[in-house]
Structure 1
Amino acid sequence: MKRVAIIQSNYIPWKGYFDLINKVDEVILYDSVQYTRRDWRNRNQIQTANGPTWLSIPVLVKGKYFQKINETKICDSRWAEKHWKSIYYNYSNACFFEKTNSQFFEFYQVAKNFSHLSEINHFFIKNICEILNIKTKISFSMDYDLVGGKSERLLNLCLQTKATTYLSGPAAKSYLDESLFQSNGINIEWMDYNGYPLYKQIHSQPFVHALSIIDLLFNVGVENAPKYMLSF
C-alpha cells in the first residue's frame, strides 16, 4: 500500500500543505506545469498588527506567459532580506520566536542565493518538514514522464510511483476524472482541511487560518505545533 500526493510547490506554505505531505508516503512537487500569477507559488501571508499581509517573491513574468513553475526566475535578489525584516518586525514578540528565529534567519541567508522559484520553495518545504519531523519522501515531477491531459498526467505519476492511493486537495474535484484512477486500480482520497483548532496569534485580530506555517511555529513553538494540525 502506498499513498501519494501531487502538489505544486508553494512559498512558505500554510499548515494544511504540510498536513497533506504528512499523510502520504511520497509527495511529488508538480512544478513542470505552467506558472500561475497572483497565486501561492511565489507568495504567502503573515499576520501583522493591521491584519494579514503578503510576502511575495519578485519573479520574471513579462512576456513569459507559458513558462513552467520550475523555469520561473527571481528578478530581485533583495527579496530575502526584505521578507526577513518583515517577519522579524511582525513576530519578534511572539512567544516562541526566540527559539525558532535563528533557524529561519539561516534559511533566508541560504535561499537568497537561489535563482529559481522552485529551488526556494523546495528548500523551505524540505526544511520545514524536517523541523516538524515529517519523513515523507519528496520527489519532483520532472523526474517522471508526463503525458496526457490533466487527469492522465496525474494518473501516470501515480502509476510510475506504484501508488495505490492518490490523496488530493479538494480543489481538484472540479476536474479530476475519478473513474480513470479507479479503472487503473488507484483509490482517490480527498484531503479535508476542516477542524483546525485555534491558537493564540500574536496580533489581536480575528483569527486567520490561511497564513504561512511560520505563524504557527512562532506563536506556539515547534513542539506544540502538531497539536494544532490534523495529521499528527
Structure 2
Amino acid sequence: MNILIHPTYFPNVAHVAAMAQANEVTFEMDDNYQKQTYRNRTYIYAANGILQLSVPVIHSQKDRQKYRDLKISNVENWQAIHWKSLESAYKTSPFFEYYEDELRHLFTEKADYLLDFNLKCMNTVFDCLQLDLKSSKTEIYQKTLEDKSDYRFLVNARKQISYNFDTYTQVFNDKHGFIPNLSILDVLFNEGTNALNYLESQYKHIS
C-alpha cells in the first residue's frame, strides 16, 4: 500500500499508524497552507488534560500560500516553551529520559520553514521508533489519486474523528482517563520500545 499524507508537527497516532502500515509513504509537498490543521499543531497530555502546542507562522498577504513557503515566526522563543511543556508533562513517564537527548536539538536549533521543520521532526521520531520508512515526495498537486491511498484528510484538526484506539498507560490517567490520538510523543514517552508495535496494531481503527 502506497499512501499520500501531509507532514505535520509531531503527528498524532492516526497519522503514524497509517505510515507504519504502508509499504511506501508519499509526502504532500505542493499543497496550499490551510489554518486549523495539524500542519502547525500537536496535542499532548499535560497535568490539566489536553494541551495544544502550536508553531507560530508568518502568514502571507496573499489569498493562497504554498505550505512549503510558509515561514515560522521566531519573535518569541516558542521552541523553549514547547520543550518546557514536554518536560513538565512527561518527565515522570517511563521513557522521557531515554529519548530526550535525541529530541532536544529540535527545540534548540533555529527553524525557518514549517514544512522543512516538520519533516525534520518526523524523521527524528522515525529514528526513535526504529521505523524504516520508504518515502518519496510529490512534485505536483493532485486532487484525485489513482495509484495511492489518500490519507490527506487526517491533517484536518477541525474534523475531530473519534478513533477507538487501544488504551495504554499515560502519565495522568488517574486524573483524566485515557486520551486517544495525541501526539506521537505521548506514545513514545509512555510506551518506549513498544511504541511501534502499538502503532502498527492501531491501523485497524483508521482503515
Scaled to the shorter chain, the TM-score interval is 0.7 to 0.9
Q: Given the superposition, is the C-alpha separation of residues 26 and 216 from structure 1 closer, same or farther in structure 2, using an over 3 Å criterion?
A: same
Checking the alignment, whether the CA contact within 8 Å between 1:46 and 1:53 is kept in structure 2 is yes
Q: Which amino acid aligns with 1:216?
A: V
Residue 218 of structure 1 aligns with which residue? 189
- Once superposed, what is the RMSD of the aligned Cα atoms? 2.2
Asked if structure 2 preserves the Cα contact closer than 8 Å seen for 1:196 and 1:228, the reply is no
User: By how many angstroms is 1:217 displaced?
Assistant: 1.0
Aligned match of 1:230? 200
Q: 1:52 to 1:64 in 2, by over 3 A?
A: farther
Partner Cα distance (2:85, 2:104) in 1: 12
Larger relative contact order (Cα-Cα within 8 Å, sequence gap ≥ 6): 2
Deviation at 1:171, TM superposition (A): 4.3
> Is 1:150 aligned to residue 143 of structure 2?
yes
What is the correspondence of 1:1-232 to structure 2 with a 5 Å cutoff?
3-76=1-74, 78-110=77-109, 113-141=110-138, 144-146=139-141, 150-151=143-144, 154-155=145-146, 158=147, 166-169=148-151, 171=153, 196-203=165-172, 204-221=175-192, 223-231=193-201
CA drift of 1:108 comes to 2.3
Shift of 1:195: 5.1
Q: Distance in 2 between matches of 1:11 and 1:46?
A: 12
Q: How many residues were matched structurally?
A: 192
In 2, are the aligned partners of 1:196 and 1:230 still within 8 Å (CA)?
no
What TM-score comes out, normalization by structure 2 length?
0.83
Q: TM-score, normalised by structure 1?
A: 0.75
Q: 1:60 Cα deviation (Å)? A: 0.9
Supply the AA of the counterpart residue of 2:22: V
Unaligned runs of 5+ in 2: 155-161, 203-207
Distance in 1 separating the partners of 2:78 and 2:136: 26
Distance 1:170 1:116, change over 3 A: closer
| Aligned-partner Cα distance in 1 for 2:71–2:153 | 27
Q: What CA deviation, in whole Å up to 9, does each residue of 1:112-146 have, x standing for no partner? A: x22100011100111211222222222221xx344
> 1:231: Cα distance to partner?
4.9
CA contact (8 A) 1:30 1:140 kept: yes
Indicate the residue corresponding to 1:177 in structure 2. none
- The verdict on how the C-alpha distance between 1:81 and 1:64 changes in structure 2, with shifts beyond 3 A counting, is farther
Which runs of 5 or more residues in structure 1 are unaligned? Answer: 159-165, 173-192
- CA distance in 1: counterparts of 2:107 and 2:136, whole angstroms: 22
Distance in 2 between the 1:59 and 1:135 partners?
30
Name the CA distance, whole Å, in 2 between partners of 1:118 and 1:91. 26
2:36 & 2:153 partners in 1: Cα distance? 17
Query: What is aligned with 1:162?
Result: none
Percentage of matched positions with identical amino acids:
28
Q: Find runs of 4+ consecutive structure 1 residues off by over 3 angstroms.
A: 168-172
Separation (CA, whole Å) in 2 of partners of 1:72 and 1:122: 14
